[in-house]
Amino acid sequence: MKIYLVGGSIRDQLLGLPVKDHDWVVVGSSPEELLSKGYEAVGKKFPIFIHPQSHEEYALARTEHKIAPGYHGFIVKTASDITLEEDLLRRDLTINAIAQSVDGHIVDPFNGQKDIEDKVLRHVSPAFVEDPVRILRIARFAARFRFKIAGETKNLIKKIIISDELKYLVAERVWKELKKALTSKKPSLFFTTLREIGALNDLFPDIDRLFGVKQIAKWHPEIDTGIHAMMAIDQAALLTEDIMVRFATLCHDLGKGTTHIDMIPNHLGHEERSVHITEKLCKNLCVPNSFKSLALKVAKYHTHTHLLFEMRSETILNVIEALDAFRRPKILDLYLLAVEADFKGRIGYENTPMPEIAAFKSCFNEVYLITAKPFITDGLRGSEIAIAMHNQRIIVLNKIIMRWKAIKDNH
């Protein structure tokens, strides 16, 4: 029995990156032997074992072959005579097909170290085409490592696209890869890579549709809506590590992709269209409700903050209530981060301060302090309390907005 550290942990180690998880493969063993040594068996599709002390996962060396085109499953074979090289052969990219023995010896049958040095993403074998999710993975690695895709691998990707295999992708797998891509420092590279290899329209048509759609140059010097969307999510990545904010930023202008050609470059009503498209996107990808909720709020109300100093106090209060900020104050911070990313995601605005953000926070903080207690003390009951609180909040908002307008005018 021989044990090797494999995959991403070796790749990250060679790249000088922190190694978060260790993946181990066991060659020349059997389930019975591992169980006899105290390992705990888990996993239904193929044998995975938990080490009795480290609690890390150990997998028996295996081979995989897709059942047939259009099917999600794979035929998995584990046997004591399967070699390390056969196990590495089933992996997607050469940079992920490197192993290290317990004494530190590197096993690299597919020249993954050379591809790391050259910053190239290259498939291990023609079996790359058997799993269409690998298109998402390769785009994610391109975004994370800033690596280019080898020409021969691009040719295989074209085969996957032509074969219509992408339509068989399980929604949960697409969402899993998208979520990981959004954690990168420059998530736009995930989408631009997919667009470059011709897969964006198949995988994320609502995002692909944004490219080439014009906006008013006065407000959007970059003009192209797709470019703005990419700049905005990169700004979101600079502002926060919260991927809910990054996802909401990605979705905020989806409605501009469906603006009638006679209306362009104006996009009147794009907020409501963005809401409907985001609803559909979240349903198709099985997006968690927490992500969906924030994305819908940002899609519907992002322009309100841009226009804060032009809005009536009644409207500002309506937005605060619609965001559910009185009950969940944290949601306001997430919303404003997405709005700021939208604002800064434009050519020339990357380092421009947005006073509306601070003003909106000031509005909320002061009206949040208005509670029912003094009105109850004054003898008000039932709906009278709600009306009194509402009116008091409007009075406070009027004063705050006047104060902020004066500050803005002086600058």
* pLDDT per position as a tens digit, 206-231: 999 999 999 999 999 999 999 999 99
Average pLDDT, the chain: 92
- The domains of the chain are located at 1-115, 119-197
pLDDT, tens digit (0-9, with 9 covering 90-100), for 119-143: 999 999 998 998 899 999 999 999 9
Place of tokens 């697409």: 174
Please tell me the distance from the alpha carbon of residue 314 to that of residue 38, in angstroms, as a whole number. Answer: 66
DSSP of 258-273, one letter per residue?
Answer: G--TTTTT--TTHHHH
From its phi and psi, is residue 259 left (phi > 0), alpha (psi between -120 and 50) or beta?
A: beta
pLDDT, tens digit (0-9, with 9 covering 90-100), for 39-95: 998 876 667 899 998 888 898 888 876 655 555 555 566 677 789 999 999 899 999
Among residues 351, 346, 365, which one has the least CA distance to residue 404? Answer: 365
pLDDT of 72 reads 53
**Which helix (H) or strand (E) covers residue 149, if one does?**
strand 148-149
State the architecture of 1-115 in CATH terms: 2-Layer Sandwich (3.30)
Among residues 335, 154, 312, 169, which one has the least CA distance to residue 240? Answer: 335
Query: Please, are residues 59 and 23 in contact by the beta-carbon 8 Å criterion?
Result: yes
Pick the CATH number of 119-197 from 3.20.20.70, 1.10.110.30, 2.60.40.730, 1.10.10.2840: 1.10.110.30
* Identical fold between 1-115 and 119-197: no
Phi, psi angles (nearest 5°) of residue 332: -65, -40
Please tell me the distance from the alpha carbon of residue 17 to that of residue 184, in angstroms, as a whole number. Answer: 13
Q: Say whether pTM exceeds 0.95.
A: no
**Which helix (H) or strand (E) covers residue 40, if one does?**
strand 40-42
Place of tokens 């998530």: 187
SS3 at position 396: helix
